[in-house]
Structure 1
Amino acid sequence: MSLRGMATVNYFAADWSAARDWYTRVTGAEPYFLREGYAEWRLGDHRAELGLIDARFRAPGTPTGPVGSVLYWHVDDVQAELARLLDLGATVHEPPQDRGHGFVTATVLDPFGNLLGIMYNPHYLEMLSPPRR
């Protein structure tokens, strides 16, 4: 298989300017790439890309609303991050769920109708540790 890792996840927003400002607050960073109708941030330990697209550029026939897959961003404290996202205007889609073996997930709807997943994943932290020799 030649898949080498997640490159970019894109969210759409009808009020693109408000969404750009919201995600700037959520991420704590300005987009590294910005043009009218598109903003992109590099986030986290592996610099994964989050793209925000003005909904007017959505392909015809593309479903709207919370559909499809959920991308979960690793966080160190699901409850604290959930509270922060709610304070910023998100709404709970799925409250924190203990998935067993140390995994905890939750999802919110951002103010623009996109699903945003957060997760504590113990394997993520193991991946960041230097390899054992």
Structure 2
Amino acid sequence: MLRGLTTVTFFADDVAAAQSWYTELLGFEPYFVRPIEGVPAYVEFRIGDYQHELGIVDRRFALPGRSGEGEAGGAVVYWHVDDVQAAFERLLSLGATVHEKPVERGPGFVTASVVDPFGNTLGVMYNQHYLDVLGS
């Protein structure tokens, strides 16, 4: 039934600011931008080995009860990184705040998470299984 990750969607009150922040973090611009009334209402980046999609949508389009005002929102989605500590420190240097410091979950599995400046929880993980699948 579930065949794979397609798009992770985050919300932001200021999509242009979120676009700039994620462009700085990732090192490249989004491949898709949908403006409404001249300003970005949705942007989408393709990330990583499988070109997964990270979308950022204007919070005004969030479902009722999902405004996320003042608290970290959503499930924690972990993106594979080669060095969790370095990724965690880079995220903090760009203005994210600590959600969970790096934790070894077992041999070959380390996680950490932050809250981005727009209230979304962003996870990073060293995941040996990811590398095994990538290599096969």
Could you tell me which residue of structure 2 aligns to residue 53 of structure 1?
Answer: 57
Could you tell me which residue of structure 1 aligns to residue 19 of structure 2?
Answer: 20
What CA distance in whole angstroms lies between the structure 1 residues aligned with 2:67 and 2:60? 13
Task: Please say which of residues 64-73 and 8-17 is displaced more in the overlay.
Answer: 64-73
Deviation at 1:47, TM superposition (A): 0.5
What CA distance in whole angstroms lies between the structure 2 residues aligned with 1:96 and 1:15? 29
Deviation at 1:67, TM superposition (A): 3.7
Count of residue pairs the alignment pairs up: 129
Stretches of structure 1 lacking an aligned partner (at least 5 in a row): none
Could you tell me which residue of structure 2 aligns to residue 30 of structure 1?
Answer: 29
Amino acid across the alignment from 2:27: G
What CA distance in whole angstroms lies between the structure 1 residues aligned with 2:128 and 2:99? 23
Amino acid across the alignment from 2:62: R
Stretches of structure 2 lacking an aligned partner (at least 5 in a row): 36-40
Contact preservation (8 Å) 2:73, 2:119? no
TM score, norm. by length of structure 2: 0.90
Amino acid across the alignment from 1:75: V
What SS does the aligned partner of 1:61 have?
Answer: coil
Could you tell me which residue of structure 2 aligns to residue 41 of structure 1?
Answer: 45
TM score, norm. by length of structure 1: 0.92
